[in-house]
Amino acid sequence: MKNTAGKLIVILILFLMVVTTACTQRDDTKEDIKPSVNTILTPEGGTDPETKIGVAPAATKEIPIYTINESTQEVEAATAIINEDTEITPELIVDQVIDSLAERLIDVGVESVTTEKDTVIVSFTGDTPPVSNVDLSVETTILDSIAQSLVDNLPEYPKVIFRVAGEPYQSANLSYDLNGVYLDGNKSK
């Protein structure tokens, strides 16, 4: 009986040592967590310790974008936070969607974003998502996220065309003509 009680005391002491050590070192092991695109960051005013100059909070605004839901792989609404004085352009919208997708470990390769009349043309590189390395559902979600984000934020450009390296969009799953409109916001109104 003495032997069992002694073993229990040793186990209890070891357990308490582990718990105490884990609790006291918890702050040292925190990971650097990146905020999600749909996390609203509120800049705080403060003083830059090196220059001793007050840092004023930057004025920001929210823009609605779309991204991919990691669980369902479907389109999901999100919010991007940008500086108040930033001009909303097709390039900015595409960059915000790409950044959001990158947070979900999808690195989309865009070669260029241009406009012609009432149309935004997004040309992808051929060796990255959405053109390669993804299945049909993820590819479609990426294209839908970019197209819907553009149409919702830029009413002057209601049409979106996708291309690959300036040529017609062609992947293992989808193909479109050179000037095939992927999304026409005029038709959804």
Q: What digits encode the pLDDT tens for the residues 46-81?
A: 444 454 455 556 799 999 999 999 999 999 999 999
Q: Are strands 110-116 and 119-124 parallel, antiparallel or unpaired?
A: antiparallel
d(CA 117, CA 72): 36
Query: In this predicted structure, what is the pLDDT of residue 91?
Result: 98
Q: What is the mean pLDDT of each run of 10 residues along the chain (189 residues)?
A: 70 71 50 43 43 64 96 96 95 98 96 98 96 96 98 97 97 96 85
State what percent of residues in the chain have pLDDT above 70. 75
Query: In this predicted structure, what is the pLDDT of residue 67?
Result: 97
Query: In this predicted structure, what is the pLDDT of residue 13?
Result: 79
Query: In this predicted structure, what is the pLDDT of residue 46?
Result: 43
Residue type, 26: R
Query: In this predicted structure, what is the pLDDT of residue 114?
Result: 98
Residue type, 47: T
Query: In this predicted structure, what is the pLDDT of residue 22?
Result: 58
Q: Are strands 110-116 and 159-164 parallel, antiparallel or unpaired?
A: unpaired
d(CA 161, CA 90): 12
d(CA 34, CA 40): 12
The angle at the Cα of 94, spanning 93 to 96, to the nearest 5 degrees, equals 65
